[in-house]
Amino acid sequence: MEDQELVARALAGDARSFTTLVRRHERSLYATAYAITRSQWDAADAVQDALAEAYVKLGSLRDPARFGAWVSRIVINTCNTVLRRRGRVLPMEEPPEPQAFVWDGPEDGIDLMRAIQTLSPDHREVIALRYFRDLKVADIAEVLGTPAGTVKSRINRALAALQAALGRTEQEVSR
Amino acid sequence: MNCSDVRDALESYIADDLTDAESARLATHLTECDECAAEYEHTREVVSRLTGLADAFVPRERYVPRPAYVPRPAGGWGWRIAAIAASVIAILAVGAMSVPAIARQLPLPVAREIDALESQNDSLRERVDELTVRLETIGGAEVAIVDTAEGDLSAEENSAVQLLAMAFIRAQYAGDLDALAGMGTDRLRADLATHPDDYLRAQGADVVFAQMTEAVLAEDGTYLVFVRLSDSVEWTDSQYQENFEIKRVGDRYLVDFMGMDA
């Protein structure tokens, strides 16, 4: 079933359809929040807050087919809120192993995620929206309120920076 | 197309976001320029590693929306009350101090509504105080049973309804859609056929039945039973709830509706 139809059902009062939407998007939303906040715990908070907000505000989504982009925007906002809040409290140290999530992927994926975490905030954000949330450049431009041309060049620079970061990690490993 | 244009468009080329003509021009350039071809290979590799990476993240904390649809109890029974007891008590605690002050400033009908809500809260709290929980072995599992103080169901009816709910949950964890359909009414079977994913739980996980209500018979002849549970895969740190509406059809009990709740 398309997102669009699930949104319509959820709006008609079927909470299970919203749960289906959540299950469909939660992994990539979590990955996005983790890339942005660089904290497993903050990512969990940001995603919970975002989904609760999405559930309440679902009626304000004008084009149900664009649920994916819409909920991405909400996650970016809740991540920013979490990051502002974090400025006032001592962050919990990141454990070397996943604790707030279960890693259900290839081993080298964790290394790739670590390399992403070394990038600048702007670069982590576009990488997450483009490859985790699988958004088109035009959608990312809308989510970030940034011209499409800027998004495009930011993605290119982010990929170059990521390749460089991966190169560094591989050199460290071979040393 | 020069090298700089090609570098700028590589990502779009890999994502197949270019027009056919642009793609063709870029592909031609790659056959002619070794440096751009190498750059293409590097970018393609990192993009392919990134694609699908997000699926590897399984958050431990799963969001479950509060359902808009809540089964209506026939009389006063305890489980829903127990579930909201904490919030009710919190409201009361705040209410005791602040409501009269606020009420004085509010138009009369609103103040009256607050009065009515307060007395409802009081009666809810009395019911929470009346609740008792006892440990029983049902369907081979030790489960805390919440006494709903209805008392009008025979032990036979009660355990038939509870056992059906447990068997249903076990089939959800076994991924056995046929068994689920066999335990359901036409209404449930129709919903199961259109949204099977809503019924399936983490396959093969160990289930822990934490609490279950006694079955309650609603005025319309529907039995209600609520089960709180956790499992060894998805719900390791918290419990969730399955709410069952069960109907008696001939001499069989069948699940008419199952809703998930946080």
Q: Which is nearest to B236 in space by CA: A102, A62, A113, A116?
A: A102
Residues A157 and A76 in one domain: no
Q: Does A11 touch chain B (CB under 8 A)?
A: no
Q: How, if at all, do strands B216-217 and B240-249 pair? A: unpaired
Instruction: Look up the CATH number of the domain holding residue A125.
Output: 1.10.10.10
Residues A54 and A8 in one domain: yes
d(CA B111, CA B94): 16
Instruction: Look up the CATH number of the domain holding residue A28.
Output: 1.10.1740.10
Which of B65 and A8 is assigned the larger pLDDT? A8
Q: What is the mean pLDDT of residues A105-130?
A: 93
Contacts of B234 in chain A (CB under 8 A): none
> What is the percent of chain B with per-residue pLDDT over 70, rounded to a whole number?
71
- Residue A14 structural domain: 1-93
Q: Which two tokens mark A157? A: 């620079």
Specify if A100 maps to a domain: no
Share the mean pLDDT of chain B. Answer: 78
- Report residue B187's pLDDT band, with 50, 70 and 90 as the boundaries: very high
Q: What's the number of domains chain A is made of?
A: 2
Residues A81 and A114 in one domain: no
Q: Quick one: closest CA in A to B10, which residue?
A: A156
Specify if A98 maps to a domain: no
Q: What pLDDT was estimated at residue B74?
A: 34
Helical residues (DSSP H) of B61-195, grouped into ranges: 78-105, 108-130, 155-174, 177-182, 186-194
- Report residue B156's pLDDT band, with 50, 70 and 90 as the boundaries: confident
d(CA A119, CA A168): 13
Specify if A4 maps to a domain: yes
Contacts of A127 in chain B (CB under 8 A): 50
Specify if A30 maps to a domain: yes
The residue among A45, A65, A93 that closes a domain is A93
What does the radius of gyration of chain B's CA atoms come to, in whole angstroms? 28
Q: What pLDDT was estimated at residue B149?
A: 56
Q: What angle do CA B54, A50, A11 make, to 5 degrees?
A: 105
**In chain B, where the domains are located:** 3-56, 79-130, 132-261
User: Are the C-beta atoms of B5 and B22 separated by less than 8 Å?
Assistant: no
Residues A30 and A70 in one domain: yes
Choose the closest CB to B59 out of A26, A105, A131. Answer: A26
Contacts of A108 in chain B (CB under 8 A): 49
Q: What pLDDT was estimated at residue B121?
A: 60
Residues A85 and A61 in one domain: yes
pLDDT tens digits, A39-71: 898 899 999 999 989 988 898 888 999 999 999
Residues A122 and A167 in one domain: yes
- In CATH, B132-261 is 3.10.450.50: yes
Q: What is the pTM of this model?
A: 0.57
User: Are the C-beta atoms of A144 and A151 separated by less than 8 Å?
Assistant: yes
User: Are the C-beta atoms of A115 and A165 separated by less than 8 Å?
Assistant: yes
Contacts of A162-166 spanning 24+ positions with Cβ under 8 A: A162/A115, A162/A116, A162/A119, A162/A123, A162/A127, A162/B46, A162/B50, A163/B42, A163/B43, A163/B46, A165/A115, A165/A116, A165/A118, A165/A119, A166/A111, A166/A112, A166/A115, A166/B46
Q: What pLDDT was estimated at residue B233?
A: 84
Per DSSP (E only), the strands in chain A are 101-103
The residue among A93, A122, A153 that closes a domain is A93
Q: What is the mean pLDDT of residues B149-165?
A: 82
Q: What pLDDT was estimated at residue B152?
A: 67
- Report residue B54's pLDDT band, with 50, 70 and 90 as the boundaries: very high
pLDDT tens digits, A79-105: 999 888 776 555 556 777 777 888 888
> ipTM of the predicted structure?
0.89
Which of B168 and B59 is assigned the larger pLDDT? B168
Choose the closest CB to B54 out of A15, A31, A153. Answer: A31
- Report residue B1's pLDDT band, with 50, 70 and 90 as the boundaries: confident
Q: What is the mean pLDDT of residues A130-149?
A: 95
Residues A29 and A62 in one domain: yes
Specify if A127 maps to a domain: yes
CB contact under 8 A, B63 and A51: yes
Q: What pLDDT was estimated at residue B100?
A: 40
The residue among A93, A118, A138 that closes a domain is A93
- Judge whether residue B95 has pLDDT over 60: no
Contacts of A55-63 spanning 24+ positions with Cβ under 8 A: A55/A10, A55/A18, A55/B65, A55/B66, A58/A7, A58/A10, A58/A11, A58/A18, A59/A11, A61/A7
- Judge whether residue B99 has pLDDT over 80: no
